[in-house]
Amino acid sequence: MLKEPVVLLKKICQVDNHHFSIEWTDGCISKYRLSTLQQQCPCAGCSEARKQGALSVDEDVTAVRISSVGRYALRVQFRRGCSAGIFDFSLLRYLNKELT
Ligand SMILES: [Zn+2]
């Protein structure tokens, strides 16, 4: 089985209250809006709500803290709304392609 190249997180930077960026070990830099990320929260509750079109996210949501989970994912503690989601790096990379 072919292994995908492993891209890891090098650095997380807060851009402003609503955006942060990630620098990856392959040199790519991704930028995210916190509310957009929260809209994509991968937890079971939000996935279900999203399916029903019932997920509402405050456009101006800010974060208390962004921390890495092991070597493969990020967890964002938002000031409002759901903070249960674990955003793994492949999801983050995928979202970045979708959103920019
Ligand atoms: Zn959630």
Q: Where are the domains of the chain?
A: 9-99
Spatial contact of 40 and 56, defined as CB atoms under 8 Å apart = no
Q: How far is the CA of 71 from the centre of ligand 1 (A)?
A: 21
Mean pLDDT for 17-41 is 94
Q: Look at the domain 9-99 and name its fold.
A: NE0471 N-terminal domain-like (3.30.2020)
Q: Quote the pLDDT of residue 100.
A: 47
Q: How far is the CA of 16 from the centre of ligand 1 (A)?
A: 23
Residue 7 pLDDT grade (very low, low, confident, very high; cuts 50, 70, 90) = confident
Spatial contact of 12 and 29, defined as CB atoms under 8 Å apart = no
Q: Vertex 25, ends 11 and 75: CA angle to 5°?
A: 45
Mean pLDDT for 7-35 is 93
Q: Quote the pLDDT of residue 2.
A: 58
Give the list of residues 6+ apart from residue 46 with CB closer than 8 angstroms, or none.
Answer: 55, 82, 84, 85
* Protein residues with C-beta less than 5 angstroms from the ion ligand 1: 41, 43, 46, 82, 84-85
Residue 60, classed as helix, strand or coil, is coil
Residue 5 pLDDT grade (very low, low, confident, very high; cuts 50, 70, 90) = low
Q: Write down the mean pLDDT value for the chain.
A: 91
Mean pLDDT for 35-45 is 96
